Amino acid sequence: HYEFTHCTFAAYSTDYIQHKEPVLSISNSYVRNSLMSVHDLDAQFRNCIIWGESGGLVPNEIAVNKTEGTSYKVLFENVLWNPSKELANSTLSGADIRNENPLFQNLNFSDHLYDFHLKEGSPALNKGSATSLLFDLDGNPRPVGLPDLGAYEKQ
């Protein structure tokens, strides 16, 4: 059972590493020593940003894979993301914001500076639902009303 609440998942290429894999890959099975293992899965993503750089290196930034035979549930609720197609094997609840740049504070590729706080005017501002998380990653309070999506609350 996994719960991801107010998370920011982001992937960008650098001078040394190309972004070639999905930002998020979910599966209820894995292969180890040529043997497949399948397990129950319950994963929930609430008030999250799931964003990968555009440019065509990754055909779909989110991969959801299901192997039959176990209990399986993947829920996305109030997310800002950029899937290139509808996701099979998952449920969408609440609002989703598709293919709108989250407007991160600073993405300076040449100096390798990445600041995933939200800029003023971000479509992720005030788009979440109330949760039990009262503080963001910096320790700043989340509002009682509509919180921001992602790890940081705009102050």
What's the pLDDT at 56? Answer: 61
Please give the Cα distance from 61 to 28 (Å, whole number): 18
pLDDT-derived band of residue 82, with 50, 70 and 90 as boundaries? confident
What's the pLDDT at 145? Answer: 76
Q: In the block, which residue shows the tokens 């503080």?
A: 135
Tens digit of each residue's pLDDT (9 = 90 or more) over 7-46: 999 988 877 778 888 899 999 998 889 988 999 999 999 9
What's the pLDDT at 147? Answer: 95
Instruction: Please determine, for residue 57, whether its predicted confidence score (pLDDT) is greater than 80.
Output: no
Tens digit of each residue's pLDDT (9 = 90 or more) over 106-151: 988 777 788 999 999 999 999 999 999 999 999 999 987 799 999 9
Residues in a beta bridge with 26: 64
What DSSP string describes 92-128? EEEEEEES----EEEEETTTTEEEEEEPTT-TTTT-S
Residues in a beta bridge with 139: none
What's the pLDDT at 101? Answer: 93
Q: Is the pTM of this model over 0.75?
A: yes
Encoded amino acid at 114, one letter: Y
pLDDT-derived band of residue 102, with 50, 70 and 90 as boundaries? very high
